[in-house]
Structure 1
């Protein structure tokens, strides 16, 4: 053997002996001197029955250990009090323990520990740095009873009968500040009576935890507030939610706790019960978003109950028998930026007896939802009277079903494509709100990807009433289908509008009630190309006398029926860009009675002509042909002087209107042509041609017409109440041709008549005034012979507060006066009045003469016979007799 090898072996042997002797010496020293050393150089008093230390490996084995703080009031170091049956430490960091006052080890075994641990204050008063006084790579606890307190002596965590194995456990108050009380990598745990109090509001209690083969079971989990709701509002005025949460049983595996992350897999929660109280406080937005992350691989919740309470103690949300199954649920930095701050792969939700309450109570018998479809059954919506003035619903429906083609989030925006929404048997009433809209900021739609697509909405077998201002609109047996709905933002970003491609609506016994009318229809069918209404009726709800008393100014009262109304064309009635383009609108068998009383005061508002009225319609609108067929129109007018209403009757009424428009479709002609053919007063044919141009700002119009072989008796129902005149004979032909504008009209009028006679009546229209009638008929030309020359109707001034037809009637009236009836009757009346005045004067003269004669006769009788009258007195008497005879003759005549 070489010399140097021999020396090396000897050296190593000596070194080994020295190490063994040192290790033996240290063990003897530790057994005899370590307690005193710890007592003199650390913050603890430690005693033990036995202690073995391997200096080379750093392994320590001790038995029957007792430990206490020397100064329990020192909150800058971790506090320890209790006993440990067996302590085993692998690779103990002796240097860190002696010089850095940090306990660190790769493995720690505690057998039957019974310890109270007081955590050190998280920030060093001198350095301002956070402490981490305990650091273990792995820890194992057998049959332990441990209580952990904050530095304030408030209990933080406690557990009994604890069997625990964790890797890389970190347990300091620093972890509390990151939301999680403990953090570790892997675990195996079993224990009873767990208690955790993470803050001053809540305490967490668990009856038992058990882990087997990586599967953890938690029994009777409870998160309970340590304050009642009134105390919570008092001591935490800026917080707006207080929770109470209980779970009968939880099962999960692969639990991972890190600083700001909690993840687990295959979690099942049995009979969870969540109760949340809310306040009116607006929550303070966090200055910095939380870094906390949650990842749940699979989560199931069975038979859950959820209650959310309003600040007044009433229920905001209530649901029971909830069952939730979520696949790959996560909440992290990525998802919290989305509109819905959680991500998932799939979910299934079901529940029963769900209640949601704002100013309405929404109750659902059952709910089933998943990312692709959903169904809600036995729905009831009732007003609860909390917010009067808001829109409200009193509805029930059998079910709502929907299917979804796509619902995801891309680039922080929600994409939604709904395949179908189906509502069945919706019954009840919707009442519009009366509150004025509150001005609000424009909504933020930056997180929604438009358009939102709804491919089909169907409403089936429903009875709905919509009421606004006490005017109900009702639909019975309502069926509606709307296809290809695209929800887009309005151009000014003030809201969302719907663009609809196809729709179809049908209903029976349609009804609409206003203050004065009820409108009904036997059936109503509507789609984007056709309208069909049958058995339409618009009936007054009040009598004419009641109507007159109810209106402040004169107005028309209508009574209208129509057997059928049809329309063909295209129209958009739902979007902001509304449009009506109809090729044909037909009204059949209409029967309209229009009544107007002149007893109320005149309406002082200006009455625009029809061209201006059409031009004021905001919707682009054109009707190529409007036809009114086989109809009847009756106009009745009543004045304080008339005895009963005057009446105009137009039967067999047929009207064709071409190009009825609002003048807002570029390139479309704007002239409106109207042709009317009817029977006037059921006696004579009447034809009218009328036109105007909607685009003409001057509102000029032209109207002409002709009637023939009209018995004069036919106009008596209208002229008798106003003129107190009746007529007989025949109007063989009447022609008129007028042109006008908003100021008045001019034109020509012609009348051919035969055997025309008139009768003038008293004010009560009962008795004929024979004298005036005789005078009138002397002045009226009985026969006109051939068609006379036209008379000029001119300077007919329009009262802007009257309708177009008032102006038109003034033109007819002037024409009649100039041709025949009006002017001659006026002459007859004037002649008769003059004659009556003469007779009245003569009677007065006769009365005065008789009085004078009596006086003279009395004077003559009193004188004696000797005193006879003189000759001049005789002459006076003769003169008086002559005058008297003339007066008597005149009176007789």
Structure 2
């Protein structure tokens, strides 16, 4: 053997002997001197029954250990207090213990430990460096009782009868808000009476935890507030939520706690119960969001109960028997920035007796939801009286069902594409609020990806009443289908508007009750191209006498029915760009009665002409043809002087209106032509042609017409109450042709009549005034002969507070006067009145003269010279008689 080899073996042998001697000596030293060394060079006092150390491997085995802090008030190091039956350390870091004052080991076994651990301060006050004097890669605890306290001596964690195996355990209070206080890579745990207090508001309690093959079971989990709600509001005025949470049993596997992340899989929660109190406080926005992450592979909740309480103690949300199944639920840096801060692959939610309450209570008997569809059954909405100024609903619904094509969140925006929404048997009433409209701020819809698409909405077999200002609008057997709805953000961010492609609505027994009217229809059907209404009626709710007492100024009272109303065309009444373009609108068999009383005061408001009224319509509108067929129109007017209302009747009424428009569609003609053919007073045909241009700012118009063979008795129902006159004879032909504007009208008028006679009545329209009738008929020309020449109707001034038809009647009236009907009656009246007055004056003068003559005669008889004056007296009497005759004749003429 070579010398260097021999020397090598000798050296190794000597080294081995030295190591063995050192190890033997170290064990003797450790047994006798280590407690004093630990006491003198560390922050702890340690005692033990036995201690064995392997210098080469760093393994330590000790029994019956007792450990305490030398200075319990020093919170810069971890505090340890208690006993350990057996301690086994593998690969103990002797160098770190001697020179860095740090206890480290790859493996730690604690058998029957009974320890109190006080966590060190997160940061050393002097150096600013973080301290972690105890570090174990793996730890095993058998039958332990452990309590962990914060550096403030507040209990942080405790457990009894703990059997634990943890790989790479890290126990620290460092940055608790952003990192978990206890993290590890793998675990096996069993224990009971767990307690954790993560902050000053909540405490977490668990009756028992056990694991088997990676499956963990937790019994009676409780998150309870350590303050009552009143104390919470007092000590935390900036927080707006207080939680209370209990779970009867939890099961999950593959729990991983790592830094700021908690992950597990196949989690099941049995009978969870969440109670949350809310306040009116607006929460302070956190400048730095939490870095906490949650990753749950599969999560299930069975028979859950959720309660959210309003600040006043009433329920905001309540649900029981909830069952939730979520796949791949996660909360991380990506999801927390989205509108809904959690991500998922799939979910299924079901439950019953769900209550949501704001200013009304929403109750859902059963609910079922998943990302693709949902169904709600036995729904009721009831006002709770907390906000009467808001719109409220009192409804019952059998079910609401919907299906979804797409619902996700990308780039902090929600994308929603709904395939179909079905609502069945909605019954009840919607009442508009009474509060004043508040100027709303522009809304922010940055979290929504527009457009929101709803491809189909169906409402079936519903009875709904909508009421505003005690004026109900009712629908029976309402069915509606709306297709291709696009909800888009308005350009000014004032809200959301809807674009609707197709819709169809039908209802029976439609009704609308206004202040004075009840409007009904036996059947109504409409879509974007057609409207069909049958048995329409607009009936007064009050009598004429009541109506007159209720209105402050004169107004019309309508009584209208129509067998059928139809329309064809296209119209958009839902978006901001509203449009009406109808090719045909037809009203059949209408019966309209219009009553106006002149007893109330005149309405001082200006009455615009029809062209201006159409021009004031804000939306583009055009009706190519409006037809009124086989109808009847009756106009009645009553004045304080009239004995009963005057009446005009237009039967067999047919009207065609071409190009009825609002002058807001570019390129579309704006002239409106109206043709009317009817029977006037059920006696004579009447035709009218009327036109105006809606775009004409001067509001010029033209109206002409003709009636023939009208018995004069036909106009008696109208002229008798006002003029106290009746007429007989025939109006063989009447023609008029007027042109006008808002100031008045001019034109031509012609009248051909035969055997025209009038009868003048007293103010009660009962007794005939014979003398005045004779005088009037002497002045009226009974026959016009052949058609006379036109007379000019000139300078007919319009009262701007009166309607167009008031101006038109003034034109007819002037024409009648100029054709010697109305004007001669007036002359006759005036002449008779003057004659009566003159006769009365003459009679008075004669009476006075006779008295004077009698006095003169008596004086003569008494005079002695009577005989001398007799002759002169005769001459005087003759002279006086002549004077009387001349005066009487003159007055009579």
TM-score range, shorter chain: over 0.9
Deviations 1:739-776 (A, max 9, x none): 11111111100000000001111111111111111111
The alpha-carbon deviation at position 134 of structure 1 amounts to: 2.4
SS in structure 2 at match of 1:466: strand
Local SS of the residue matching 1:318 = strand
Conserved? CA contact 1:414–1:448, under 8 Å = yes
What SS class does the counterpart of residue 39 from structure 1 fall into? helix
> 1:829-864 CA distances to partner (integer Å, 9 max, x unpaired)?
121112112111112212322332454466567x48
Matches within 5 A, 1:107-506: 107-174=107-174, 176-178=176-178, 180-506=180-506
**1:615 and 2:600 aligned:** no
Task: Return the alpha-carbon distance in structure 2 between the equivalents of residues 869 and 465 of structure 1.
Answer: 109
Whole-Å separation in 2 of the counterparts to 1:399 and 1:297? 33
Contact 2:122 2:175 in 1 (8 A): no
Question: Does residue 554 of structure 1 match 2:554?
Answer: yes
Deviations, residues 765-807 of structure 1 (Å, cap 9, x unaligned): 1111111111110011111111000001111111111111111
Q: Which residue of 2 aligns with 1:769?
A: 769
Could you tell which deviates more after superposition, 739-748 or 231-240? 739-748
Q: Report the Cα distance in structure 2 between the residues aligned to 1:724 and 1:182, rounded to whole angstroms.
A: 107
Cα distance change on mapping 1:57 and 1:802 into 2, 3 Å:
same
Segment of structure 1 superposing worse, 808-817 or 602-611: 602-611
Retained in 1: the 8 A contact 2:268–2:301? yes
Q: TM-score normalised to the size of structure 1? A: 0.98
* Offset at residue 355 of structure 1 (A): 0.4
Deviations 1:615-670 (A, max 9, x none): 11111111111100000000011111111111100000000111111111111111
Residue by residue over 1:102-152, the C-alpha shift from the partner in whole angstroms, topping out at 9 and shown as x without a partner, is 222111100000011111122212122332232211110000001111111
Give the deviation of 1:100 after TM superposition.
2.5
Paired residues of 2:731 and 2:753 also in contact (CA < 8 A): yes
Tell me if structure 2 keeps the 8 A contact 1:750–1:788. Answer: yes
Q: Say which SS state the counterpart of residue 173 (structure 1) adopts.
A: coil
The equivalent residue for 1:94 is 94
Deviation at 1:384, TM superposition (A): 0.9
Separation of aligned partners in 1, 2:449 and 2:881: 115
8 Å contact kept, 1:846–1:887: no
Listed as ranges, the matches of 1:871-882 within 5 Å are: 871=870, 872-873=872-873, 875-880=875-880
| Residue range with higher mean Cα deviation, 760-769 or 729-738 | 760-769
5+ residue gaps, structure 1, are none
1:564 aligns with 2:567: no
Q: Closer, same or farther in 2 for the Cα pair 1:177/1:887, shift >3 Å?
A: closer
1:520 and 2:524 correspond: no
> In 2, Cα distance between the equivalents of 1:778 and 1:236?
104
Rounded Cα–Cα distance in structure 2 between residues aligned with 1:857 and 1:170: 154
Please list every run of 5 or more consecutive structure 2 residues that lacks an aligned counterpart in the other structure. Answer: none
d(CA) in 1 for partners of 2:856, 2:69: 156
Counterpart of 1:643? 643
- Aligned to 2:113, the other structure's residue is in SS state strand
User: How far, CA to CA, are the matches of 2:877 and 2:700 in structure 1?
Assistant: 75
Contact 2:720 2:726 (C-alpha < 8 Å) held by counterparts: yes
**For the Cα contact (< 8 Å) 2:442–2:492, is it kept in 1?**
no
C-alpha displacement at 1:446, in angstroms? 2.2
Q: Is the 8 A contact 1:497 1:575 kept in 2?
A: yes
SS of the residue 2:788 aligns to: coil
Note if contact 1:706-1:735 (Cα within 8 Å) is conserved in structure 2.
yes
Give the distance between the partners of 1:263 and 1:847, measured in 2 at CA. 130
Contact 1:134–1:170 (CA under 8 A) maintained in structure 2: no
SS of aligned partner of 1:726: strand
Q: CA deviation at 1:341?
A: 1.0
Partner Cα distance (2:892, 2:395) in 1:
86
Deviation at 1:441, TM superposition (A): 2.9
User: CA offsets, 1:547-579, max 9 Å, x none?
Assistant: 111111111110000000000111111111111
The SS at the match of 2:312 is: coil
Give the drift of 1:599: 1.2
Which residue of 2 is the match for residue 814 of structure 1? 814
Task: Indicate whether 1:842 and 2:842 are aligned.
Answer: yes
Asked if the contact 1:175/1:259 (under 8 Å) is kept, the reply is no
Over 3 Å counting, the alpha-carbon distance change for 1:858 and 1:370 in structure 2 is farther
Cα distance, 1:868–1:186 mapped onto 2, change above 3 Å: farther
Q: Give me the whole-angstrom Cα distance separating, in 2, the residues matched to 1:717 and 1:867.
A: 70
Q: TM-score, normalised by structure 2?
A: 0.98
**C-alpha contact (below 8 Å) 1:537/1:561 kept by paired residues:** yes
Contact kept in structure 2, 1:843 and 1:891, CA below 8 Å: no
Which structure 2 residues correspond to residues 15-34 of structure 1 after superposition, within 5 A? 15-34=15-34
- Give the superposition deviation at 1:432: 1.6
8 Å CA contact 1:116–1:147 kept in 2: the answer is yes
Q: How far has the Cα of 1:881 moved from its partner?
A: 5.5
Q: 8 Å contact 1:134–1:172 — kept in the other structure?
A: no
Please identify, of 457-466 and 837-846, the stretch whose mean Cα deviation from structure 2 is larger: 837-846
Partner of 2:64: 64
| Alpha-carbon distance between aligned partners in 2 of 1:347 and 1:462, rounded to the nearest angstrom | 32
Shift of 1:868: 6.6
Is 2:613 the counterpart of 1:629? no
Distance 1:518 1:369 in 2: 43
**Aligned equivalents of 1:868, 1:168: Cα separation in 2:** 170
Query: Which range is displaced more, 50-59 or 731-740?
Result: 50-59
Match of 2:692 in 1: 692
Secondary structure of the 2:403 match is strand
* Counterpart Cα distance in 2 of 1:779 and 1:889: 21
User: Are 2:860 and 2:866, in contact at CA under 8 Å, matched by a contact in 1?
Assistant: no
- Decide whether the 8 Å contact of 1:745 with 1:811 is kept in 2: yes
Q: In structure 2, what is the Cα distance between the partners aligned to 1:333 and 1:488?
A: 29
Give the Å deviation of 1:79: 1.2
Equivalent pair of 2:274/2:305 in contact (CA under 8 Å):
yes
Where does residue 792 of structure 2 map in the other structure?
A: 792
Quick one: distance in 1 between partners of 2:506 and 2:767? 57
Check conservation: 2:178, 2:290, Cα contact below 8 A: no
Question: For the residues of structure 1 that align with 2:891 and 2:444, how far apart are their CA atoms?
Answer: 97
Name the counterpart of 1:657. Answer: 657
Q: Once the 2 structures are TM-superposed, how far is the Cα of residue 891 of structure 1 from its aligned partner? A: 10
Deviations 1:148-178 (CA, angstroms, capped at 9, x unpaired)? 1111111111100000011111112126333
Q: Give the whole-Å Cα distance in 1 for the aligned partners of 2:177 and 2:632.
A: 86
Q: Which moved more, 1:196-205 or 1:757-766?
A: 757-766
Instruction: Select between 389-398 and 408-417 the one with higher mean Cα deviation.
Output: 408-417
Greater displacement, 613-622 / 880-889:
880-889
How far does residue 489 in structure 1 lie from its aligned partner after superposition? 1.7
Count residues in correspondence: 892
- The SS at the match of 1:841 is helix
Query: For the residues of structure 2 that align with 1:437 and 1:129, how far apart are their CA atoms?
Result: 60
Q: Cα distance, 1:242 vs. partner?
A: 0.3
3-state DSSP class of the match of 1:426? Answer: strand
Q: Distance in 2 between matches of 1:512 and 1:813?
A: 40
Secondary structure of 2:434 counterpart: coil
- Deviation, 1:473, is 0.8
2:802 counterpart SS class = coil
CA RMSD of the aligned region, Å? 1.7
